[in-house]
Amino acid sequence: MSGIKRRTELDELEEIARVATRAALEAYEPVPPEWIKNLTLGTLFEDDHRIFQLYIAGERRQDSIIISSAKVNRKTRAVEVTITNLKKRSAS
């Protein structure tokens, strides 16, 4: 067996979420530097959707700060991104 890793469906959906999240984040102020060290990606499974959340881990789950949530339909590959806890960039 060669060392080539086969892309799984979850890998493909994560890449869709990553690209859409990056595009959505362009309209917001950057993530504060002090949050970067605890930046975490979580994956939730909900029916035909996979939800990829970018969040700042806290001591307890309820202390976590969700930055983005990208909901990807595994059949249609449609994605919906919600950004929270960041300020929109001001129009210049």
pLDDT tens per residue across span 11-48: 999 999 999 999 999 999 999 998 888 899 999 999 99
Please report whether residue 58 resides in a domain. Answer: yes
**Is 88 domain-assigned?**
no
Q: Averaged over 49-56, what is the pLDDT?
A: 97
- The closest alpha carbon to 49, from 32, 29, 33, 70, belongs to 70
Contact yes or no for 42/53 (Cβ under 8 A): yes
**Residue 92 included in any domain:** no
**Within-domain flag for 91:** no
pLDDT number for residue 1: 47
Name the pLDDT band for 91 (thresholds 50, 70, 90). confident
For residue 38, is it within any domain? Answer: yes
Number of other CB atoms surrounding residue 31 within 10 Å? 17
Among the ranges given (4-8, 43-47, 80-84), the one the predictor scored with the smallest mean pLDDT: 4-8
**How many domains does the structure of the chain reveal?**
1
Q: Quote the domain boundaries for residue 26.
A: 9-83
In a domain, 73, yes or no: yes
Asked if residue 71 is part of any domain, the answer here is yes
